[in-house]
Structure 1
Amino acid sequence: MTTYILSTSTHLQLVDLEYQVADRLRVQFGIDQNQVREAFTADISTAECIFDLIDNSIDAARDALLEGPNVKLDRFNLPASYSGHKINLHITPTTIAIRDNSYGMNSTVLGREAFFSGNRHTHKYGIGYFGLGLIRAVLKLAREVRLKTSNGKEAYYCKISEAQIQAPDQNEIYADPISNSGKIFNILVLSDIPEEISYEIRNSRWKETLINTINKRYGIYIRKGLEICVNGTKLPPFGPSLRDHPNFSVYSKQETLGNGVIVNIDIGADARWKFKGEDGFTQTCNKSLAIDSGLYAVCNDRIIRIADKGEQTDWFQKWHGEYNSLIGWIHFVSKNPSLLPWDSKKANLNTNNVSYQETADQIREVGDEYRSQNRKLLKGEIKKEKDKIKDKENKKPVEPKPPIPPNIQNTNQKPQQGGKIQISPTENVSPINHTPNPANHNKDYDFLMWRCTVNSLDKKTLALVNECQRLCIRDYPYASAMLLRNTVESVIEDYLKRSGFWHNACEYEVKRRNRDREKRGHAALNPQEARNAKPNLSEMLKFFNKEQRAVPGNDAKTLLKSIQLFSNDLGELNGITHESILTTGDRVASFRERIVPSLEAMLAFSEE
């Protein structure tokens, strides 16, 4: 045998080594399959795996559109519309399933590419370019995989077991041809979910956060007509729009970098923001919008950074209040996704990427100029023409505003010490299946709640309902969303106490918490903890499904449906209230319309 060794003179010399064949030792070389699985999935979350599945479906939709006839393109040469394309995602603690109707797999793609990692995908303008998405999701999320696919000409069914996933070299995988109906679809079902992932999915807050993040990440596709449904709920479009600041016109610039990446910068004021002197200006409304301010980084229509305020970029040296009305959209577009400034998980920007670095200084300069002009406006250094006109109008006699019409009937209210909430009586209105009077559409229907019968004596509930009937949804959608959520929670708790079901709801909550604690290996609640256990809004809504006798009124089926629909809305409503989900007056009105029949029935309930 001949080998190389390094001599003292650092020159390589050939040396002959003799050995006995009987002394040969077998040397094992390779990587254990379990270690491969861990290496692939160690730094990726369950949510990011689900995003990978969605990315694959969107890549298929884009491919279908770009290869089709008469495709309309936007200013970035990306599809202008995804109308007709649908992605349905269903997530339970035992199964994760995704279906799309975009681009079924042919024999080559299914046989050589879909479940094989080695070559990067070649999707033009893709968002799943690393070629690991499906493999990574399978290794992380499931022990069994089923795939059914049809491209309209070929159709296949493939089932992959845990043994095949763990040792594919020893257990060959086959796809069986099936009858072809001519439809185009992909259906992927991941089952036998690992327990640690099932535990995540059972957490209602985790699931709400996942849905909110999907809504944000893919908001541009949704705005372009792509339909994404999660557990039966269709997600709305996402993303604030721009308008001119009084002293700063919207800055727009598009350029092509040396590596071919198109960068488009649009920076201006939030279209919903009202500056001092403009009609509709209120500090409260602007404060609710500040959470959405910042820069939105987009790679091939997928939103990577949301409302960035410089936490992980150097676009801002330091965030100041003068930026609070600023919205910026930074689009990076490339046929070759590897040139885009995102990390391997597509969850953040790669600030070392040349495309990012070539634009960072320019973005920072525009942001600084916006702040400077906004500071001048806030300090009153520039007098707008509209201010002068308003000064003249202020000298004219101001006509008194008409009083707010009475809108609640309280048939049981009694004087209470410590002050009385004044709610004027009005005519009887049926609390169930109530339809607003068309003549009073602007007075009643546009408000968060309309006239109804109230038999509650709870001060907080009465005050919240009273404010609901004075708040116009279209003028204050965010305040309406927050008030609606608090009102629903207060009305339900008050009703359960007055109807005698509060004790049952608390017992249900104690049992639920003890089940969760048992699964985690913790002891049950002690007597004191059990006495203090109180169901939150989500659990109170679930209680009506468990204890349908608690549903008020004579039409329990209709009201139970109302409660179930609002339960589906709650995740988005929580996102609007506590996170950075955007909304509109129409969207909040849809929440209101679904739950109001139940609220009216609960408010009208009488203990007599």
Structure 2
Amino acid sequence: MRATTIPERLMADQAKALPTKRFFVRMITRDISIEDCILDLLDNALDGASKEVARRHGSLDRENAYDGFWARIKIKDNSFCIEDNCGGIPLAEAKNYAFYFGKPDPDVNGGVPAIQTAEHSIGLYGIGMKRAIFRIGKMAKVVSSTSAGAFEVDIDVSKWEKSGEWAFDLTECKAKTPGTTITLSPLADFVNEEVNSPEFLDKVWKSIARDYSFFIQKGFKVFMGDSEVNPYQFTLREGGGFSPAYLHYTDEETGVRVTIKAGMAGPPPDEGSVDEKMKEVEYCGWYVICNDRIVIAANKNDKTVWTEGGSFPSWHPQYNGFMGLAFFESQDPALLPWTTTKRDIEVHAPVYRRALAKMRDATREWIDYTNQRKGYLEQAKAIERQATSVPIKRISEIKAISVPRFEAKPKVRMANINYSVTLDDLKAVATALGNEHMSYRDVGIETFKFYKENEVD
């Protein structure tokens, strides 16, 4: 008998390495917030709209590209729903792609071709919808319709975790208006109380207004209940010696298109009410935007240019008024420097590291200006009032940031005077000057001024 070789013995049996569903679900949901899950579902709606716009017009590069498309978020007691009119999920895509955990790889999925993604997609890993379902709801219903057909998928999360099948039951149904509705009810433990709090709803509203501003400005509408979310208007100021930076280039290694705009969004907070100052400060700092989706906002730490003890200063309230925006665009979202939550960046991504050097250059000009400004405060305020706000999209001339420069004042040599007098004499002089409680220092200054004005030519 021929002897069995070592490799043959190793291949004679297998050690199973399949994940348990409960472990899998916990792992993909443990580090994502409920707010981020909601925004993931909104991303899916936007990707659907992008496909429809590209199909109808061939490009998203139009001022009102998303006109007519909308998504509506409804949160009620123990229920969450997001519905849209963004074209729906085709039946074949639902069966073969949409419910995959991750995007199918044609090389390892039986020759299944890769799914066609939307132009400038913000769907990254093909996990957002499933992760949101598991994180927010105990039960879910997904209903989607295209002009060609429709389907329903009902998911009982607890039952699915206990089953051995890595699939969801799908039922074809009659086509309706193209779009998708995802309903989660009842909600997972502790979720209902959080999502129905006014603080949470206000936070989600502000995140949508800010992080989806560029989509909304292109015509996409987002509703929370019956109320429409208006976009935050990003502006930089021009005039009086101020000019925003505008830099555009294509990263040679990745082909990612990078655009950097930076400058004065508002004067440093030396004037105005406290409330007004705080409102503006909330939006100061650096923004990183991937395919028009804001990933990090108003950053003031070392994820962008600000460092602690490094070659570049850390953020200081003195820099309030500065705003920088770094846009990264690609047909392939995997080339962009963002994480799976799309609320953070891969700080070590080479395309991002190369952009950071240019972001620092723009920031340095503002830092130098605020340092110099302290010695010319009234003059600086007068110049700053001459600058007017310009929408980000209207800043298109390629140039470096510019700020006013102040001529150095001639230095005046100063001297200190120190002498002693009796307390009675000092009080008598203070009384004669009209204020018996005047400080010793002020008595000395006033008597010196009197002598100079009356005795010195």
- TM-score higher than 0.5 here? yes
1:290 aligned residue (271, 277, 281): 281
Q: Distance in 2 between matches of 1:255 and 1:226?
A: 27
Aligned 8 A contact 1:164 1:172 in 2: no
Deviation, 1:369, is 1.2
2:150 aligned residue (148, 155, 158): 155
Aligned 8 A contact 2:143 2:182 in 1: yes
**Structure 1 stretch displaced more, 151-160 or 84-93:** 151-160
Letter in 2 for 1:37: V
2:18 aligned residue (27, 30, 37): 30
1:313 aligned residue (287, 297, 304): 304
What are the residue-to-residue correspondences of 1:539-558 with 2, within 5 Å? none
What are the residue-to-residue correspondences of 1:317-356 with 2, within 5 Å? 317-356=313-352
Letter in 2 for 1:205: E
Letter in 1 for 2:170: A
Cα gap change, 1:365 to 1:193, in 2 (>3 Å): same
Deviation, 1:85, is 0.7
Q: Distance in 2 between matches of 1:223 and 1:232?
A: 19
Cα gap change, 1:127 to 1:171, in 2 (>3 Å): closer
Q: Distance in 1 between matches of 2:47 and 2:328?
A: 17
Aligned 8 A contact 1:93 1:197 in 2: no
In structure 2, the residue corresponding to 1:68 is in which secondary structure?
A: helix
Instruction: Name the counterpart of 2:79.
Output: 95
What are the residue-to-residue correspondences of 1:194-343 with 2, within 5 Å? 194-244=188-238, 246-258=240-252, 259-270=254-265, 273=267, 282=272, 285-286=276-277, 288-315=279-306, 317-343=313-339
Does residue 53 of structure 2 align to residue 65 of structure 1? yes
Deviation, 1:126, is 1.1
Deviation, 1:86, is 0.5
Cα gap change, 1:146 to 1:247, in 2 (>3 Å): same
Aligned 8 A contact 1:261 1:339 in 2: yes
Q: Distance in 2 between matches of 1:16 and 1:168?
A: 33
Count, aligned residues? 363
What are the residue-to-residue correspondences of 1:155-174 with 2, within 5 Å? 155-162=150-157, 165-167=160-162, 169-170=164-165, 173-174=168-169
Q: Distance in 1 between matches of 2:8 and 2:140?
A: 54
Cα gap change, 1:85 to 1:257, in 2 (>3 Å): same
Does residue 91 of structure 2 align to residue 107 of structure 1? yes
Deviation, 1:282, is 4.2
- Unmatched runs of 5 consecutive residues or more in structure 1: 5-13, 18-23, 391-608
Deviation, 1:384, is 8.2
Aligned 8 A contact 2:305 2:359 in 1: no
Cα gap change, 1:162 to 1:374, in 2 (>3 Å): closer
In structure 2, the residue corresponding to 1:195 is in which secondary structure?
A: coil
Q: Distance in 1 between matches of 2:232 and 2:381?
A: 34
Name the one with the larger helix percent: 1
Instruction: Name the counterpart of 1:428.
Output: none
Does residue 356 of structure 2 align to residue 368 of structure 1? no
In structure 2, the residue corresponding to 1:97 is in which secondary structure?
A: strand
Q: Distance in 1 between matches of 2:180 and 2:171?
A: 15
In structure 2, the residue corresponding to 1:361 is in which secondary structure?
A: helix
In structure 2, the residue corresponding to 1:88 is in which secondary structure?
A: strand
Instruction: Name the counterpart of 2:179.
Output: 185
Instruction: Name the counterpart of 1:515.
Output: none
Cα gap change, 1:283 to 1:311, in 2 (>3 Å): farther
Q: Deviations over 1:82-102 (max 9, x none)?
A: 121110011234221111101
Letter in 2 for 1:53: L
Deviation, 1:223, is 2.0
What are the residue-to-residue correspondences of 1:459-474 with 2, within 5 Å? none
Aligned 8 A contact 1:139 1:165 in 2: no
Cα gap change, 1:150 to 1:283, in 2 (>3 Å): closer
Letter in 2 for 1:291: E
Cα gap change, 1:362 to 1:71, in 2 (>3 Å): closer
Cα gap change, 1:40 to 1:62, in 2 (>3 Å): same
- CA RMSD of the aligned region, Å? 3.2
Q: Distance in 2 between matches of 1:346 and 1:177?
A: 32
Does residue 136 of structure 2 align to residue 141 of structure 1? yes
1:44 aligned residue (28, 32, 44): 32
Deviation, 1:380, is 2.4
Cα gap change, 1:53 to 1:37, in 2 (>3 Å): same
Higher relative contact order (CA 8 A, sep 6+): 2
Cα gap change, 1:117 to 1:380, in 2 (>3 Å): same
In structure 2, the residue corresponding to 1:292 is in which secondary structure?
A: coil
Q: Distance in 2 between matches of 1:325 and 1:356?
A: 24
Q: Distance in 1 between matches of 2:321 and 2:89?
A: 46
Letter in 2 for 1:105: I
Q: Deviations over 1:499-554 (max 9, x none)?
A: xxxxxxxxxxxxxxxxxxxxxxxxxxxxxxxxxxxxxxxxxxxxxxxxxxxxxxxx
Letter in 1 for 2:301: G
Aligned 8 A contact 1:248 1:370 in 2: no
